[in-house]
Structure 1
Amino acid sequence: MRKGNLELLKKINRDLVLETIRSQQPISRAKVAQRLNFSRSTVSSIVDELIAKKFVIETGLGSSTKEGGRRAIELGFNPKSGFGVGVELMANGLLICITDLDGNIVLKERLDAGNDFKTIYECILGSLDKASISMDTVIAIGFCIPGLTNSKKGIIVDAPEFGWKDVPFVDEMKKYLDKPIYANNDVNCAALGERWVGGAKDLEDFIYISIGLGSGVGSAIVANGSLVHGKDFMAGEIAYLIQEEDVSRNQVNVAGQFGVFEKKISGKSLAENESLMQALFQGYAQDEPRSVQTVNRFATHLSIGIANMVSLLNPEKVILGGEVAGYLNPLLGEIQSSVDRMTPIRTAVEISQIGAEAGVLGVVAYAFDQEQNVI
């Protein structure tokens, strides 16, 4: 067997052993071998390697066997063996989040800082210092970008909030950080955050729709357990959905402008700012006619968009996120009923469970996923 093939086989076996320990802990070496149909010597060798790297720990002796035999040493996954850093770039600063390998937040802080590369680097160092975490234990660093991002090449194609076009972001950050670095679009990241620790935990097929307050709308598609990026990394551009009535009015999509559908379901379609948004939904709750009309029209358009995406993609769940989603709980039943009426393909529509943290957690999950071979 060629050396490369042998290394790949070893990695596959190592991943299987680690995942078995992680999902079924506490578990003995013998039971791992039994579950995977591996020899005990193979499992013992892999476990010794994982313990040396601190990914696995011995948790103590298990219960005795029915026959009263010797109690086996049980194993557990050690989530504190490595850490990930997520950085969300925003118009008004940075959101930095440090997690362990299970997604438990060790430190989270919002900083009023610039987005130049040196400042970002210094903020990351400061956060690690506050968390008492050494850079040596950081497995990867991910960046959540509010704009079109080529995640494969680490290039920010277009981020209007920062005036960035075709910025080689990852290459620039690597001048400061000697760690694996990844970048992805903020909506994609939010979807991955939901899949890691939120309402889409472990789901293989779902849609995440982000509806911003001052910004527009976007969606991310997870199909068969993977993000759908599209040829130009523009899959899920729900803003550009269009209907016959739009065409008849000569309302079509133009690059660089708000999409036709976006104008119907963005935060700006409801109110210009947060205080007006609060007043609108307060009026809706009090059956104020104009507020009810505005909110119902929004709910209808949103339901149409969701129903069309459900018919096309057959997701198990649709999750609504972004600032506007926090106001939609009173409408959720109506939106669910409308979607069920518009398409025979059943799905659940829910509000995000983790809210504003979804993106920064998701980019950590994305970075970990890209670095699976580190173990």
Structure 2
Amino acid sequence: MRKGNLELFKKINRDLVLEMIRSHQPISRAKVAQKLNFSRSTVSTIVDELIAKKFVVETGLGSSTKEGGRRAIELGFNPQSGYGVGVELTATGLFICITDLDGNVAWKEQWETDKDFKTIYECIRSSLRKASVSMDSVIAVGFCVPGLTNSKEGIVVDAPEFGWKDVRFVEEMKKHLDMPVYINNDVNCAALGERWVGGAKDLEDFIYIYIGLGSGVGSAIVANGNLVLGKDFMAGEIAYLIQEDDVSRNQVNVAGQFGVFEKKISGKSLAEDESSVQALFKGYEQGDPRAVQTMNRFVTHLSIGISNMVSLLNPEKVILGGEVSGYLQPLLAEIQSAVGKMTPIRTTVETTRMGSEAGVLGVIAHAFDQEQNVL
């Protein structure tokens, strides 16, 4: 069996064993093996690894058998047996969130501080202390970065907001944190947060679209339950979507500049004729002709982008996130209707119900998933 196939086979078995324990706890190793039709030795090996990683705990002895045999040690999934730390790097500092294995938030805190590695470590340590969570109970720490990240190698390829290029982030952070450390792009993290505890909980196929108040526009794609990364970790860069009329007007995409689609739907583009995005939406609600024209154009551009992605990927749901999404509720029915007319492939379009925690929760989910994968 090829190595890649073997690793996938092992992951599937681990996931099945863990889910069996979560849904049928307390349960013995023998019962897990019986229900899954696995060998006892396979289950014992997987369980021992899950216990070592703190995903599973031994809860004590079960009741005796009818034959009076030795009582089996039962297993359980204890959400408080381990914790994850998510750190979102922001323009002003850090947003730190600590959760248990089920995503229940034990602590969250904003830090206005520098982003050097020693300071980040000290802020994490301080937050853990305030949450009464020991460093030993932390399974992994995940970092949510606004920029292009190589999540496999732990490298921040390009984060213009911080002036970072090719920073070996995980390698440097591990000089201070003696535990597993992971990074991912902020939009990918938000999508993973939606899938873990948000509007896309347990969905296998969905798209998350981020529209910020500034120039930021991006998306994350989850297909068949997996985040789509792309060869250069640039999958979902919808800022570069382009149409025929863009080409005819010589509006093309250039590396390092704002994307063509980004110029149409970003918060910055929306506010060009107003003092702010807030003022634009207020004008729209009051029927101001110029604001109405701007919003109609925005709905058309956004709906075209969504429709093309839906036709390509066939997602169950499209979630609109980012700061601008907070203003889109009055337009949602119109966007849904427009998408329905532009593509015959059915989907649901909705705005995020998660607040500022989406990214940090998502990177914790990413860290937990990676730790399961390296058992």
Query: Does the alignment reach a TM-score above 0.5?
Result: yes
The aligned amino acid for 2:357 is: E
Task: Say if 2:122 is the partner of 1:122.
Answer: yes
> Which residue is equivalent to 1:294?
294
Helix, strand or coil for the counterpart of 1:103? coil
Helix, strand or coil for the counterpart of 2:332? helix
Going from structure 1 to structure 2, the CA distance change for 1:158 and 1:335 (only over 3 Å counts) comes to same
> Which residue is equivalent to 1:79?
79
Going from structure 1 to structure 2, the CA distance change for 1:268 and 1:41 (only over 3 Å counts) comes to closer
- Structure-1 separation of matches of 2:289 and 2:47: 66
Residues 3-58 of structure 1: per-residue CA shift (max 9 Å, x gap) = xx999998875553322011344556665344212467876787688668762353
Going from structure 1 to structure 2, the CA distance change for 1:46 and 1:256 (only over 3 Å counts) comes to closer
Q: CA deviation at 1:78?
A: 0.5
Helix, strand or coil for the counterpart of 1:199? coil
Helix, strand or coil for the counterpart of 1:193? helix
> Which residue is equivalent to 1:255?
255
Task: Check the 8 A contact 1:322/1:355 in 2, yes or no.
Answer: no
Size of the alignment, in residue pairs? 366
Helix, strand or coil for the counterpart of 1:270? helix
Q: CA deviation at 1:170?
A: 1.0
Going from structure 1 to structure 2, the CA distance change for 1:356 and 1:11 (only over 3 Å counts) comes to closer
Task: Check the 8 A contact 1:61/1:72 in 2, yes or no.
Answer: yes
> Which residue is equivalent to 2:18?
18
Residues 105-149 of structure 1: per-residue CA shift (max 9 Å, x gap) = 111111111111111111111111111111111111111010011
- Structure-2 separation of matches of 1:100 and 1:298: 40
- Structure-1 separation of matches of 2:26 and 2:267: 47
The aligned amino acid for 1:289 is: P
Going from structure 1 to structure 2, the CA distance change for 1:11 and 1:336 (only over 3 Å counts) comes to closer
Worse-matched range after superposition: 178-187 or 11-20? 11-20
Task: Check the 8 A contact 1:86/1:363 in 2, yes or no.
Answer: yes
Going from structure 1 to structure 2, the CA distance change for 1:346 and 1:112 (only over 3 Å counts) comes to same
Worse-matched range after superposition: 15-24 or 39-48? 39-48
Helix, strand or coil for the counterpart of 1:58? strand
> Which residue is equivalent to 1:108?
108
Going from structure 1 to structure 2, the CA distance change for 1:75 and 1:238 (only over 3 Å counts) comes to same
- Structure-2 separation of matches of 1:333 and 1:107: 36
Q: How does 1:287-326 map to 2 (within 5 A)?
A: 287-326=287-326
Task: Say if 2:207 is the partner of 1:207.
Answer: yes
> Which residue is equivalent to 1:58?
59
The aligned amino acid for 1:100 is: D
- Structure-1 separation of matches of 2:316 and 2:362: 19
The alignment's TM-score, normalised by the length of structure 1, stands at 0.88
> Which residue is equivalent to 1:68?
none
Task: Check the 8 A contact 1:213/1:274 in 2, yes or no.
Answer: no
> Which residue is equivalent to 2:156?
156
The aligned amino acid for 1:247 is: V
Gap runs ≥5 in structure 1: 66-70
Gap runs ≥5 in structure 2: none
- Structure-2 separation of matches of 1:323 and 1:9: 40
- Structure-2 separation of matches of 1:191 and 1:133: 27
Task: Check the 8 A contact 2:154/2:170 in 1, yes or no.
Answer: yes
Worse-matched range after superposition: 182-191 or 351-360? 351-360
Q: How does 1:160-199 map to 2 (within 5 A)?
A: 160-199=160-199
Task: Check the 8 A contact 2:205/2:316 in 1, yes or no.
Answer: yes
> Which residue is equivalent to 1:88?
88
Q: CA deviation at 1:254?
A: 1.1
Helix, strand or coil for the counterpart of 1:353? coil
Helix, strand or coil for the counterpart of 1:242? coil
Going from structure 1 to structure 2, the CA distance change for 1:26 and 1:351 (only over 3 Å counts) comes to farther
- Structure-2 separation of matches of 1:226 and 1:237: 17
- Structure-1 separation of matches of 2:186 and 2:14: 32
- Structure-2 separation of matches of 1:89 and 1:125: 16
Going from structure 1 to structure 2, the CA distance change for 1:273 and 1:300 (only over 3 Å counts) comes to closer
Going from structure 1 to structure 2, the CA distance change for 1:239 and 1:131 (only over 3 Å counts) comes to same
The aligned amino acid for 2:268 is: K
Worse-matched range after superposition: 208-217 or 30-39? 30-39
- Structure-1 separation of matches of 2:217 and 2:227: 18
The aligned amino acid for 1:259 is: G
> Which residue is equivalent to 1:133?
133
Task: Check the 8 A contact 1:214/1:273 in 2, yes or no.
Answer: no
- Structure-2 separation of matches of 1:50 and 1:247: 54
Worse-matched range after superposition: 146-155 or 335-344? 146-155
The aligned amino acid for 2:199 is: G
The aligned amino acid for 2:125 is: L
- Structure-1 separation of matches of 2:231 and 2:130: 41
Helix, strand or coil for the counterpart of 1:355? coil
- Structure-2 separation of matches of 1:256 and 1:153: 23
> Which residue is equivalent to 2:364?
364
Helix, strand or coil for the counterpart of 1:371? helix
Task: Check the 8 A contact 1:221/1:227 in 2, yes or no.
Answer: yes
- Structure-1 separation of matches of 2:123 and 2:274: 29
Q: CA deviation at 1:270?
A: 1.4
Going from structure 1 to structure 2, the CA distance change for 1:292 and 1:128 (only over 3 Å counts) comes to same
Residues 270-317 of structure 1: per-residue CA shift (max 9 Å, x gap) = 126997322221222222222111111111110000000111111111
Task: Say if 2:279 is the partner of 1:279.
Answer: yes
The alignment's TM-score, normalised by the length of structure 2, stands at 0.88
Task: Check the 8 A contact 2:58/2:73 in 1, yes or no.
Answer: no
